[in-house]
Structure 1
């Protein structure tokens, strides 16, 4: 695992329960890479972190893991709309101030 992968996984571990970040949000937060690079890290090493908190830009869960993702979201109280994360309410910007859902 390279340094970029470690950084991505550290960010994912910091996403509070009930909140999500899009692949592109993580890349933007880190100031490097892009959504595809974050997706590659998650597909290779994301099983040990709360992967269900990382979504597509429109709030859709990881393809092929939708039901498991929805189960986690229900358990954590993630705002959901039409089986997608409600990005307006659930998106975490990475700041300590936004650790609490509004």
Structure 2
């Protein structure tokens, strides 16, 4: 496992309940700013094994990225259960719910 992958897993594990991070934000914090798609692959292949709170990762527009309706509704339901409110059917306010890992580490 690469150091980047280890970093991504650790970052995702630490996203607080009721907060979200974007794929790009995680990639940057893990040391590879252009690797948002790699974060998607890591989430897809390792969420179950490492019990990652995958539902707390969204796209840069503040939207759930799933096109599959079942996965979309699962992610939305999990976020709502943590107190996250949606400003539209797919989107949440990043101003309210985005977890700033860099701020937390300083």
TM-score by length of 2: 0.81
Q: Name the structure where strand makes up a greater proportion of residues.
A: 1
For residue 41 of structure 1, what is the aligned residue in structure 2? 42
Q: Which runs of 4+ in 1 moved over 3 A?
A: none
For residue 58 of structure 1, what is the aligned residue in structure 2? 61
Which whole-Å CA distance do the structure 2 matches of 1:20 and 1:79 have between them?
12
Deviates more, 1:45-54 or 1:59-68: 59-68
User: Matched residue pairs, number?
Assistant: 97
Give the root-mean-square deviation of aligned CA atoms.
1.7
The structure having more radius of gyration, on CA atoms, is 2
Structure number with the bigger relative contact order (C-alpha 8 A, sep ≥ 6) is 1
TM-aligned CA deviation for residue 79 of structure 1: 3.4
TM-score by length of 1: 0.83
For residue 9 of structure 2, what is the aligned residue in structure 1? 9
Q: Which ranges of structure 1 fall in alignment gaps of 5 or more residues?
A: 98-102
